[in-house]
Amino acid sequence: MEKIDLKKDLKQLYQPSAKEVALVEVPMFTFLMIDGEGDPNTAPEYAQAIEALFAVSYTAKFMVKKGPQEIDYAVMPLEGLWWADDMSAFITNDKAKWKWTMMIMQPPFATNEIIEAAIAEVKKKKKLPAIDKLRLEDFSEGRCAQILHIGPFSEEGPTIARVHEFIDAQASRTGKHHEIYLSDIRRADPKKWKTIVRHPMK
């Protein structure tokens, strides 16, 4: 059986340095996505979104593994795009006004048909409030700056500022603030949480 770890295959995108901001070219990938808004720490909608994303992603993984393709792959990490209608909500930390798209990249062999079958399978087994909000979408960021942040989310400010300064010195920012969560925050010590901070640039 073939084993695939896309995080290792896409090392330049998913294993960045924590020491310096790097310029990367991010091609188009297919993501399972869900949109929402509100404080990620308290909004039930956020927790429900994460639950639905992982339930379907793991179901699709086992369908591919047990199906004719016989590919065993690692489910990709959770990612989030963040913004607000008034971006000062981030400076004032008014999390109730934050908007987000949470997403998990799907490998090319987890086809539309497999994802649809995985959603149907999850629906049969569990009543997940967010399941009908899921969508599969191609997403391309192109040229981006990114760095690895180590530590709790509350201490990301200086890391984000470094990414912004790097971009502003040579181009201008575009698109949405992007985070990739490499740690299981339920188990890991917050001091050791690893989060990729990425932002597209013109």
- Looking at the predicted structure, is the pLDDT value of residue 56 above 90? yes
The CATH class given to the 1-27+142-202 domain equals: alpha beta
28-139 has the same fold as 1-27+142-202: yes
What residues does each domain of the chain span? 1-27+142-202, 28-139
CA separation (Å) from 134 to 22, 97, 103, 118?
31, 21, 9, 12
Report the CATH architecture of 28-139: Alpha-Beta Barrel (3.20)
pTM for the model stands at 0.95
The band of 188, judged by pLDDT with boundaries at 50, 70 and 90, is: confident
Determine the average pLDDT of the residues in 36-51.
95
The band of 80, judged by pLDDT with boundaries at 50, 70 and 90, is: very high
pLDDT for res 168 = 95
The band of 184, judged by pLDDT with boundaries at 50, 70 and 90, is: confident
